[in-house]
Structures are given as structure tokens and as C-alpha cells.
Amino acid sequence: MSGAVLAAVLCAALMHAGWNAMVKARGDAFLSTVTVAASAGILCALALPFLPQPAQASWPFILASGLAQVLYYALLMETYREGDISHAYPLMRGCAPLIVAVLGLPFTGERLAAMQWLAIGLICGGVLTMVAAVRGTAPNARRTTLLALATACVIAAYTLIDGIGVRKSGAPAAYTLWIFLLTAIGVLLLARRRRGELLPFVRRHPVLLGGGAMTVGSYGVALWAMTQAPVATVAALRETSILFANAIALLVLRERVGPLRLLGAALIACGAAAMRLG
């Protein structure tokens, strides 16, 4: 992997952690999430006319993935409504590769390699450490843990869907942008009861519009990097977003991130990277 690709993937990881931090920092996780999703959808709608369109066979997967991602954003709103990003983000992003590996076994027939068993141990150890770190410290800690793990399940679901659908599409870029666009429409439908609050909220927090660009940019940079370097290496390096999220939580959001929570995040990040490399 060249230095330029390495820097690009690290930047993509930082962007992903960054837009999550934006959602948490604005105070209203619901409207913040809607703003990020909607602005991402607008960017994708502008780009789609200039791209080759996905094959017909991939459209059921696009629709299924879009529905799954609407559920993902709905869970994200609830998770960040009260939960700390340093608690929730490692669980959401780190446990998803584990779930994909386990759920994928019946479909692929593949056996887990030694590296993947090591990854399972690291991730499980990290999760238990995170649970121990928040036990008794916050009344909503258990709820945040459960919501984060549920979000990880949804991430795993759309990952498995897209793993099949993007191969059938013949147009990975357009496949991805259509999902962002359909997700934006679904999230806006969720927000219809608060539609009168959305524009005033965006005027007060225009920086969130950049969050939409960051979520699309993060995914786009990762896809580009996978054409320049081994896919497993790029996927593993993206898991540094877990560490970026904890750094942002500590230095910017001023969350109370104790040694156990940092250790748990580090174990999950290492396990997620090992799972990608296995």
C-alpha cells in the first residue's frame, strides 16, 4: 500500500468517525441524523445521472439495503440521543465484522481461519471490557449497549446484502449512490412529524451539511482505495475509525473516557482489523 493510499484510507476513517461525532455534538440526534442523511442523498442524486446505472438484477438488493440503512439511521438516532460516542461507536462498528463472519458461514460454507478466531476473541474481550467500563456509571449505559449491538446487527445485515448485490449490479458506484438516495428518502419520511423543525435546525447548524459529504466521501474513498491496494488491508485499516471516534470523544466532546473504555475500544479495533485480514 502506497503512502497516498494509506493517507486516503486514514482520512476516510476519520471522516466516518467525524460525521458520527457531528451527530452527537449538535444536541438533537434525531434532526442531526436526518440532516446528514438528507444532504448525502442530495449529493448522490446530483451525481447519479452521470454514472452507468446498476443492472436490473441488483435492484431488489438496492431496495433491501436501503430499508436496512433506514433502520440503521433510526437506531443511530436513539443510540446517540443519550449514549456516549466513545461507548457506542466501537460496539457498532467493531461488532459488525464479527456478525458478518458468523452469519456468513451458512451461506458461504467457509471455515474460520486462525486469524478470525483470534479476532473473535479480541472483539468479545473488547465488548466485555466496554460493558465493565460503563457498569454502574450511567443509568442509560445498558440501553446504549443494547442499541449499539442492535445497530451492529443491522450494519452486518446490509453488509451481507450489499456483498451480493454489488456483484450483480455491474456498476458499484451507482449501486452505492442509489442506496444513499433511497436511504435519505426513507429517513425524511421518518422525520415528517418534525419537518417544520428541520430547516430552522439546518440554518442553526449548517456544518451538518458537511456530514453528508463526509459519509459519502468516506465510502467513496474506501472504494477507490480498494482498487489500489488489497481489499482486506483497506478494510482492516478503516477500522481505525474506532480509535478516531474515541479520540474525538475525549478531546472534542469532552466525554469521560476511562482506561477500561479505551482498552475495550482498542481490543475491538484490533479484532475488527484482524477479522478483515483473516
Q: Say if residue 44's pLDDT is above 80.
A: yes
Given this model, what pLDDT does residue 23 score? 86
Of the ranges 65-69, 113-117, 208-212, the best mean pLDDT one: 65-69
Burial class of residue 104, CB neighbours in 10 A (0-12, 13-18, 19+): middle
Mean pLDDT of all residues in 106-127: 72
Total domain count, the chain: 1
Write down the mean pLDDT value for the chain: 83
Distance of CA 86 to the CA centre of its chain: 14
Residues shown for the chain: 278
pLDDT at 163 over 70: yes
Q: What percent of the chain has pLDDT over 90?
A: 22
Nearest of 175, 186, 184, 182 to residue 219 by alpha carbon = 175
pLDDT score for 45:
94
Average pLDDT on 244-273 reads: 81
For the cut 90, the answer to whether the pLDDT of residue 218 exceeds it is: no
pTM: 0.84
Mean pLDDT, to the nearest integer, of 194-216? 86
Stretch 3-18: mean pLDDT: 86
Quote the domain boundaries for residue 86.
3-277
